[in-house]
Amino acid sequence: MAITLSSGFKMPAVGLGVWRMEGKDIRDLIINAIKIGYRHFDCAADYKNEAEVGEALAEAFKMGLVKREELFITTKLWNSDHGHVLEACKDSLNKLRLDYLDLYLVHFPIATKHTGVGTTSSAIADDGVLDIDTTITLETTWHAMEDLVSKGLARSIGISNYDIFLTRDCLAYSKVKPAVNQIETHPYFQRDSLVKFCQKHGICVTAHTPLGGAVANTEWFGSVSCLEDPVLKGIAEKYKKTVAQIVLRWGIQRNTVVIPKSSKVERLEENFNVFGFELSKEDMELIKSVDRNHRTNQPAKFWGIDLYA
């Protein structure tokens, strides 16, 4: 199952996110995922594992498991490289051992002090707050992203962690419209207005943290996971599925792309096995009722400033 982007390219509805994946585990993770059926991989310069992903992809191609044109590879421009978009994209391509990206995203709508292409550092000023660069506009960054399309380095370009106002602005100043807005959204943080706004204007929504972050975000940010929700557990029992499968299926039926992460083969299989059933309208409405407006991913912990405030 895939969603056709405004750029004309198809994006698989389920992908694998590689955030917080250790380098030594990447090879087995990518190879196993491809064998299971994954064709969409979500990367980022800031995850600091593009080189390891590139090695695994090269091995998969060499083994004949998959061809490059059968994969959809996403990576992202880090905050400190907004003034160096072309160089940053080429650095990611070099690490990933690819000639082009299927999708290149602006990771966050914020430019920070440049620390060297590909270093993905978050420079903190003397006051303990993120060192924000106020000389680079998001419009300037976007026009540099558009140049990547004309150069053939990125087939589609998009945004990430943009709210309605910033998304609207991007639509207004863009020549190449953003094909995707990747945002945190899950049953406890449904963001229906933003999702509907994007879809109304031809922007595909990709759900990062589609399972609510689970253990990873609980450890880092002290957040609450929707996977323990009694309503969702009840629906899972009804369909004889896991709660994770219910949550991912809900995301797919909202016409969003979901990119869960897992390093366990059984979970990779479970997360991919979400196409053989459909949630009823009543159960989709029931899931709507559990929304808590609860964001689990909180970069303010590291940046000394809440950009969502």
Enzyme catalytic residues = 47
Cα–Cα nearest to 185, from 212, 158, 214, 216? 212
Structural tokens at position 151: 């150069």
Distances (CA, A) of 50 to 73, 89, 205, 206: 11, 12, 23, 20
120 contact partners, CB below 8 Å, separation of at least 6: 45, 46, 48, 78, 80, 81
Rounded Cα distance between 175 and 104, Å, is 16
What is the 3-state secondary structure of 203-225?
CEEEEECCCCCHHHHHHHHCCCC
- Between the two ends of the chain, the Cα-to-Cα distance in Å is 36
Rg (CA), the chain: 19
3-state secondary structure of 57: helix
Cα–Cα nearest to 190, from 242, 138, 229? 229
**Contact at 8 Å (CB) between 255 and 200?**
no
**Contact at 8 Å (CB) between 183 and 194?**
yes
Rounded Cα distance between 102 and 111, Å, is 23
Rounded Cα distance between 81 and 83, Å, is 5
Burial code (b: 16+ CB inside 10 Å, e: under 16) for 23-46 equals: eeebbebbbbbbeeebbbbbbbbb
